Chain A
Amino acid sequence: MSPLAAGLAIFLGLAGGVAIGSGVIALFIVLDMIPRLAQVTNSYDKVHWYEGAMIAGAVIGTVADFWDWKVAGPWLITGIVGLFNGVFVGMLAAALTEVLNVLPILAKRLHMQRYLFGFLLAMVFGKMAGSLFEWFIYRP
Chain B
Amino acid sequence: MLFLRAKSKSKASPPLAYYGQYASGRVVSMEKESASIVYLRLRKQVGLPAGAPIRLRDVARVLAEPELEGKLLELELDRPEQRDGNLIVIDTLRVISAIQSKFPGLRIELLGEPHVLVEMIKAEKKPSLLLFALVWLLLFFGAALTIMNFHADVSMPEVQVRIVEMITGEKDEHPYLFQGAYSVGIGFGMIVFFNHLFKKKWNEEPTPLEVEMFLYQENLNQYVVAEELKKMHRADSSAKRN
A interface list, Cβ under 8 A from B: 32-33, 36-37, 39-42, 64-65, 69-95, 98, 101, 103-108, 110-120, 122-136, 139-140
Contact = CB atoms under 8 A, between A and B. Distances in A.
A61 B240 CA distance: 71
Contact of B203 (A36, A39, A140): A39
A104 B186 contact: no
A77 B142 contact: no
Contact of B143 (A89, A105, A106, A126): A126
B74 interface: no
A31 to B, nearest CB: 9
A58 to B, nearest CB: 14
Interface of B: 124, 127, 131-132, 135-137, 139-148, 150-151, 157, 160, 162-169, 174-196, 198, 202-203, 205, 208-209, 212-213, 216-217, 220
21 contacts: A36-B208, A40-B202, A73-B169, A78-B181, A81-B167, A82-B177, A83-B182, A83-B184, A88-B185, A93-B143, A98-B194, A98-B212, A101-B212, A113-B213, A116-B209, A126-B140, A127-B147, A128-B184, A132-B183, A134-B148, A135-B179
Contacts of B209: 98, 103-104, 116, 120
Contacts of B139: 106, 119, 122-123, 126
A13 B167 CA distance: 27
A107 B212 CA distance: 12
B174 A140 contact: yes
Q: Name the residue in B169, B178, B191, B220 with the highest tally of chain A Cβ atoms < 10 Å from its Cβ.
A: B178
A70 B208 contact: no
Contacts of A107: 213
Given A65-B162, A91-B193, A104-B209, 6 more contacts: A86-B181, A88-B185, A92-B189, A93-B143, A124-B191, A133-B148
